[in-house]
Structure 1
Amino acid sequence: MKQEKISRKTIGAVTATGILAFCGVLISTAMNVIFPALSAEFQVDIAVIQWLTTIYFLVLAIIVPLSGFLKQSFKNKTLFLAAIGLFIAGIILNAFASSFALLLIGRVVQGIGTGIALPLMFNIILEQVPSGKLGMMMGVGTMIPAIAPAIGPTFGGWIVTRFGWRAIFIFLLPVLIGALLLGALTIEQKMKPQKAKLDLMGTILVAGFFIGMTFGFSYMGSRSFFSLAIGGAFLLGAVCLCLLLLHVRKHASPVLKLSLLKNKAYTLRLVCFFIMQLVLMGLVFILPLYLQLVNQSTAQTAGLIILPGASLGALFTPLGGRFLDRYGEKRPIVGGSLLIFSALMLFWLLAENLGNVMIGLLYFLFTLGIGFSFGNLMTSALAQLEKVEQAAGNALIMTVQQFAAAAGTAIIAAIMAKSQSNPALSNSAAVVEGSKHSFVVLLLLFTGVLLLLGQMYLMKKEQQPASLAKNQAEETRG
């Protein structure tokens, strides 16, 4: 059996696009620790400052669905150069911003760049990596942005303490210029671009859905559900979703190919992926609060406690991909999911007495489970589709991932805010109570993943797509 090797140019292309995706996530997580400094300098409330993160994810969620259209219409190198050019422009705007408005504009520009680059990285992997190495490389692709949330708070705290908040952006410029040169030299084109028509109405409806749902979730903890801020926002999201479902039935090339959801095997994995991302972002929101407000750790110490577990867990992602390549998807996905469930159960049981060391150990157990299951769920979902459908399938997965990130953060923030509004509780006691309730919610949600996995692997053996079977047969004959 001939083992196809991954070309150096493919490795370079994945690295270049991965660096851009990594920097996008790194800045988003690093900015959380500089909000007080920004609030003081620009005389803006923390509630308004939060839009530097919210608007970034909103733009990301709107641009990612366009990845199918962009891939079909433009060359990979053209997309990469546009993405990194926009991102560098946004970085420069933020580094030298003289007003809060310029900061917001810079974040919007960065969101557009990352929204182009993130799906591009996975499309290059799917298009140019031999199927026998696909699991490992999808794991690498998943690992690159997954490490950034672990490093972000520590990086941001260290930089702002020593050099000021503007240095966060300036320090990334040499890295991005290196990625620009690497991508220009290595990114290749395997499939000829074709003329495609942009689904403008579909894009507007997707944007309306995300804007409505994001605003609704953001205000859940502080406003009445029937207020305009929440009820009106959710109504806008629901109306846009209904219109989008009607629209995609009539459009030949919709912005999101929702017809892929008719594929039950793909949809089951997509739902598991959505819940897993939601739980991940929810937990990432809880732990820094607990460490700082209950255990009285500094922001930098909190980042350092989370850093080892998150980094080591993310580094296991390629190993999880190799397990998929060698043993199939069932073992790493089910095994990783059981580790996640165990960690969440222990977080809940020990919620009233979580020391720093215990948080670090349990978070490592959690991220280890993520490493073995998260990227493999994405690989497995795309493997259920024909080759020609995978770019559209990837766009849908990336879109769902952004929505899950926003939903997970907002839901847990609302639970925590509800507990903190209880006047009978001290601040630390309220965080403990909110954390305990949040762990229960995350545990119940993840129980749904285990039930879906049971259905997935106990049901009748799924029919393998013809394109995947053909590729594997050719490698075996080789």
Structure 2
Amino acid sequence: MKQKQTFHFYGAVAATGLLSFTGVLIETAMNVTFPTLIGEFGISTTAVQWVTTICLLAISIIAPLSSYLNRSFSARALFLAANLLFLGGAVLDCFSPGFAALLLGRVLQGVGTGLALPLMFYMILTKSPLEIRGRMMGFGTLTTSIAPAIGPTYGGMLAHLLNWRSIFVFILPILVGSLLLGLHSIPKTEQPKREPLHGAAIAFLAVFFTCFLTAFTAKGLLTAVWLLAGLAAGALFLRANRRHSLLGLAPLRNRSFTLLMVSFLLYQALLLGNSFVLPNVLQIAGGLNASAAGLFMFPGAMLGAVLAPVSGWVLDRLGAKKPILIGLAVAAGGMVLLALLLHTAQVALLVAAHCIFMTGLGLSYSNLMTCSLARLPQAQLSDGNAVLNTLQQFIGAMGTATSAFVISLFQQSGGYRSGTMLGGQTMLGIFACLLLVSFLCSFLGLHLPGTSAAREPQEPQN
């Protein structure tokens, strides 16, 4: 008699975590190669940003399906699909003959990441013992907070030492290792009863996201046309969603959750936008090579990585308000310094300013996600998580697309080099303003009463 395979929790989380981390890492790893890609493929700044944006777009379209997929397919089937799609996209990009093939590979990577990330969190929430669940969730959120900051360092070093295609070559062993570990750790189970998928809602949501992002690469009246098409698709999605409930929107009625979510999403937009702006400005206007531009991001990324787990401990000891609000204030100060110092091209000063920004991010980013979901009742946690994950990826794509659009405008009016610098300064100033708005949203959200769905730390009593 064939022995039933055992579910190995740590191995399963490690396998999906490796895949998720690699997916989020590769989102921004290509940012430092954009000047090279512009020259190699003869494309514009607004066109090249699709290398990052299309990956984020694919994740944001897949994320709302996570609840349906978990109910309709086994964890092993979802993991296999995620890994093989990602592996296929990476191989395609290793040998892509043109820009269109490169984008297709990025779409496959985005779909694979969009499957892997929710699966990792689903297994943590449903399989982990209660006493370690908080730590495991901290491990999970580390992939979305730190990997985008490390990506430019990884991509820059390989692009400079070898070429941009090696960025995909070097992740292949990680993907194969993840696949083998997952096959060993996630057992075969009986296939769940397949639920019907109502495709209209997901189709309208995909059109809505795509139209809004495309509007930033269009010119003149075409921008308005794309925006209007996006609004129409959004209205049709809301109508279809009311009938079939692809994405539960009830959590948005909770003002505390919504304010904290907006604060978190603003953070996500500037985090991804910043990963686009700084490496490109430092290369095009500052004269750094891809490796140096990537290494510029590394000290701050390491600070954020160290502080991410520490911030959870601070949250447990001091409550939510202090680490989140102090972190946002520190991050805003670092962003203001980056905007003011960018034109000096003094790398040491810019690294210090970036470290200040990442220190603030490390204190507040993952805590914002934790506290926003903790404001929801237990029955709305799944819907709240789906809404948050969907919008997180889309707003990250918007941050990248907006940054590329603004810099492109300045390049057209002020020249390629000087326009890049002025556009970069402008975007960093906008990011600083977004952080102030994020601070205000967090302040209001943390002071509103909310339903505690989990063990959200309470403020210590004097």
8 Å Cα contact 2:376/2:450 also seen in 1: no
Q: Which of 434, 445, 451 is the equivalent residue of 1:463?
A: 451
1:143-190, CA deviations, whole angstroms, 9 ceiling, x for partnerless residues?
A: 224333333333333334444444332322211111112222334799
Structure 1: which 5+ residue stretches go unaligned? 1-7, 473-478
The equivalent of 1:5 in structure 2 is none
1:333-378, CA deviations, whole angstroms, 9 ceiling, x for partnerless residues?
A: 2221121122123233444435211111111111122122111211
Q: Distance in 1 between matches of 2:283 and 2:323?
A: 34
8 Å Cα contact 1:138/1:318 also seen in 2: no
State yes or no: 1:330 paired with 2:321. yes
Q: Distance in 2 between matches of 1:131 and 1:189?
A: 25
Identity of aligned residues (%): 39
**Within 5 A, what are the aligned runs for 1:235-274?**
235-251=228-244, 254-274=245-265
Specify the code of the residue in structure 1 equivalent to 2:78.
Answer: L
Q: Distance in 2 between matches of 1:231 and 1:124?
A: 43
Question: CA, structure 1 residues 342+130, in 2 after alignment: closer, same or farther (shift >3 Å)?
Answer: farther
8 Å Cα contact 2:303/2:362 also seen in 1: no
SS in 2 for 1:217: coil
**Within 5 A, what are the aligned runs for 1:101-140?**
101-131=100-130, 133-140=132-139
Structure 1 residue 194: Cα displacement: 5.5
Question: CA, structure 1 residues 463+162, in 2 after alignment: closer, same or farther (shift >3 Å)?
Answer: closer
The equivalent of 2:424 in structure 1 is 435
Q: Which of 440, 445, 448 is the equivalent residue of 1:451?
A: 440
Structure 1 residue 211: Cα displacement: 0.7
Question: CA, structure 1 residues 146+211, in 2 after alignment: closer, same or farther (shift >3 Å)?
Answer: same
Question: CA, structure 1 residues 415+140, in 2 after alignment: closer, same or farther (shift >3 Å)?
Answer: same
Specify the code of the residue in structure 1 equivalent to 2:43.
Answer: D
8 Å Cα contact 1:295/1:355 also seen in 2: no
Question: CA, structure 1 residues 133+354, in 2 after alignment: closer, same or farther (shift >3 Å)?
Answer: farther
Q: Which of 328, 343, 357 is the equivalent residue of 1:366?
A: 357
Q: Distance in 2 between matches of 1:335 and 1:129?
A: 31
1:294-332, CA deviations, whole angstroms, 9 ceiling, x for partnerless residues?
A: 432222111111112112212321211222234432232
8 Å Cα contact 1:25/1:145 also seen in 2: yes
Q: Distance in 1 between matches of 2:295 and 2:74?
A: 41
Specify the code of the residue in structure 1 equivalent to 2:229.
Answer: L
SS in 1 for 2:390: helix
8 Å Cα contact 2:64/2:247 also seen in 1: yes
**Within 5 A, what are the aligned runs for 1:33-432?**
33-35=32-34, 45-46=43-44, 50-131=49-130, 133-187=132-186, 193=192, 195-219=194-218, 223-224=219-220, 227-228=221-222, 230-251=223-244, 254-353=245-344, 355-423=346-414, 428-432=417-421
Specify the code of the residue in structure 2 equivalent to 1:398.
Answer: N
The equivalent of 1:476 in structure 2 is none
Question: CA, structure 1 residues 9+94, in 2 after alignment: closer, same or farther (shift >3 Å)?
Answer: same
Question: CA, structure 1 residues 126+441, in 2 after alignment: closer, same or farther (shift >3 Å)?
Answer: same
1:17-71, CA deviations, whole angstroms, 9 ceiling, x for partnerless residues?
A: 1211222233333333445666676x55356555443332222221111111111
Question: CA, structure 1 residues 193+464, in 2 after alignment: closer, same or farther (shift >3 Å)?
Answer: farther
Structure 1 residue 105: Cα displacement: 2.9
Specify the code of the residue in structure 2 equivalent to 1:234.
Answer: L
Q: CA RMSD in A?
A: 2.9
Structure 1 segments of 4+ aligned residues over 6 angstroms from their partners: 188-192
Q: Distance in 1 between matches of 2:160 and 2:343?
A: 32
Aligned length: 451
Give the structure-1-normalised TM-score: 0.85
